[in-house]
Amino acid sequence: MERETLEMDVVFVGAGPANLSGALHLARLIKTHNETVANGGAGEALGDIEIGVIEKGASVGAHILSGAVMDPKALRELIPDFVEQGAPLESPVNEDYFLYLTKTRAIRSPITPPPLKNHGYYIVSLNKLTAWLGEKCEEAGVNIFPEFPGADILYDENDAVVGVRTGDKGIDKEGKRKANFEPGVDLRAKVTVLGEGPRGSLTKQLVQRLGLDAGREPQVYSIGVKELWELPDDRYPAGRVTHTLGFPSDAQTYGGGWIYGMQNRILNLGYVTGLDYKDPLLDPHAEFQRFKTHPFLRKLLDGGKMIRYGAKTIAAGGYYAMPQIYADGVLLVGDCAGFLNSQRLKGIHSAIKSGMLAAEAIFAALVAKDYSAKQLQRYEQLVNESWIIPELRKVRNFHAGFKHGRWLGIMNTGFQFFTGGRSWGLFDRAKAHAGHEEMKKLAAYGYRGDNIEQRYDGLKFDGKVAFNKLTDVYHAAVGHSEDQPSHLHVLDTNICATRCAEEYGNPCQRFCPAAVYEMVEDSANGGRKLQVNFSNCVHCKTCDIMDPYQIINWVTPEGGGGPDYKGM
């Protein structure tokens, strides 16, 4: 097949805060350098350096979902006057609350735990903030290509990365070319930066191929399920931040809720569930729906209207789970490098900072005309010397502490506060497993069959407070052309109706927050079979992470497909 090849200098894959900050910082470093040289300064001008950012979403921000309370320290380094320049900020944080929820009561903690203190931070819609950063990049001369998924990494004969291949367009569901067929483009670059967010599909390939995770712990994840509501009055002001612990999670499951006040009476709420849960009947979407049925939440939402929905995973493993972040011709930034601080549930600041540090390392590589791992290792050095690593080291055993349940996890967190992150044997991160390995079989849990009522007895999707998955997915404004091959590759569907049904009761039907996976009658064979409703997919990647047999492979669909997270 004839493919167009585009020669770039630097390609950033994914238009998230990490890569947009990296592209912007790099464009400015080059401009300043070229001006200095033109004015008689030392060195050689770099000339026109082509910087491209590719994004699988239909626009910058379309696939971006976060909380989000942003620690502004990195944005301030990138754009010191971001407030004056009109960065879209919902509100400074004015009030912090921490609640413990029993089934019926909301008990306010007299003190807010230090990691959840947000004074000086901002509530933002990360969707709006990335769109704004995208504009800043374009003003600085960066080329942004929405609807361009990175489908494959291009390597040379020595396994050095030399660019990415974008996905083909116009293939029908049988794999045949349609009238609008367009082959993907080979974007060749001196340096490729992967900023795909959690569980990046190219990052996964690269890490496996080059063994970048050798000697590191497996990454563990959580999933955040979120809605925006329009409230009828000012009952929850912009700038108020509430975090909750307790109901509806059981004491063995890592989880907690957030409620943030945004402008124009918009309430932003969601629920995080650790993707290392044990109960095979657990359903993160149902956990969130149940959260909203708590009397405190019911009262808050009374008379309001749900307007948006979304879900996305969070890379929670932290310090011990970070892969090697550089190799020949390639760097990893943001969540796909594992820079999120899971104790604070904050990764925007470190994503921005890591993008900037990557830019500095690339700038040095362009000046040295050397794109080898040896040269690009400068990025790791810069990260080690920055505030990112000390911040992550202090909480290095945080998530692992919860593997023995909520109360020991909290004790461990308190202990680490005084030890600067040191833990003791029971909570040692070095004994961690990948999250899917934690799921127990139905029988081990004492369940009879996969009837979800055994866990969610009494939960009703009343369409007022609690919604079923299809109603929620409608509010994620998801769109994929139906006539394309499924981008969710289930590598062995024979397991589904037999072994998986018996052992785990087909948990894909529950851990997917978008009703993508469905076991349906198989009239031809008189049994059941898996149906993959891929057009519902919100690109959260939970299936790729949580499938107990690790046979689901998430790859990028045709460019532009997916959710549209306006205002999220």
Ligand X SMILES: Cc1cc2nc3c(=O)[nH]c(=O)nc-3n(C[C@H](O)[C@H](O)[C@H](O)COP(=O)(O)OP(=O)(O)OC[C@H]3O[C@@H](n4cnc5c(N)ncnc54)[C@H](O)[C@@H]3O)c2cc1C
Q: What residue ranges bind ligand X (CB under 6 A)? A: 13-19, 54-57, 63-70, 126, 149-150, 195-197, 200-202, 224, 226, 270, 312, 314, 334-335, 340, 345-349, 351, 556
Query: What whole-number distance in Å separates Cα of residue 159 and Cα of residue 161?
Result: 6
Closest CB to ligand X among residues 388, 501: 388
Shortest distance (Å) from residue 428 CB to ligand X: 25
Rounded Cα distance between 510 and 518, Å, is 9
Residue 290 or 487 with smaller CB distance to ligand X: 487
| Shortest Cβ 320–ligand X spacing (Å) | 18
| Helix, strand, or coil (residue 444) | helix
C-alpha span between 225 and 270 (Å, rounded) = 5
Compare residues 201 and 484 and give the one whose CB is closer to ligand X: 201
Of residues 17 and 409, the one with the C-beta less far from ligand X: 17
* HEC assignment per residue over 313-369: EEECCHHHHCCCCEECCEEECHHHHCCCECCCCECHHHHHHHHHHHHHHHHHHHHHC
- Among residues 164, 145, 124, the alpha carbon closest in space to that of 7 is found at 164
Give yes or no for a contact between 430 and 423, defined as CB atoms under 8 angstroms apart.
no
Q: Is 238 helix (H, G, I), strand (E, B) or coil?
A: coil
For 230, other C-beta atoms within 10 Å of its C-beta total: 14
If the CB atoms of residues 275 and 281 are measured against ligand X, the closer one turns out to be 275
Cβ count within 10 A of residue 56: 27
End-to-end Cα distance, the chain: 39
Beta carbon nearer to ligand X, 155 or 415: 155
Please, what is the minimum distance in Å from the beta carbon of residue 187 to ligand X?
11
To ligand X, the closest distance from the beta carbon of 493 in angstroms equals 25
Nearer to ligand X by C-beta: 340 or 501? 340
Whichever of 18 and 297 has its CB closer to ligand X, that residue is: 18
Distance of closest approach, residue 166 Cβ to ligand X, in angstroms: 8
CB 354, min distance to ligand X, A: 8
**Cα distances (Å, whole numbers) of residue 428 to 69, 134, 213, 442:** 29, 40, 18, 28
Bridge-partner residues for 528, per DSSP? Answer: 521
CB of 337 to ligand X, least distance (A): 8
User: From CA 113, how far away is CA 162, in angstroms rounded?
Assistant: 46
Minimum Å distance from CB 302 to ligand X? 24
Rounded CA-CA distance 440/445 in Å is 7
Residue 311 vs 532, nearer CB to ligand X:
311
In whole angstroms, the minimum distance from the beta carbon of 171 to ligand X comes to: 17
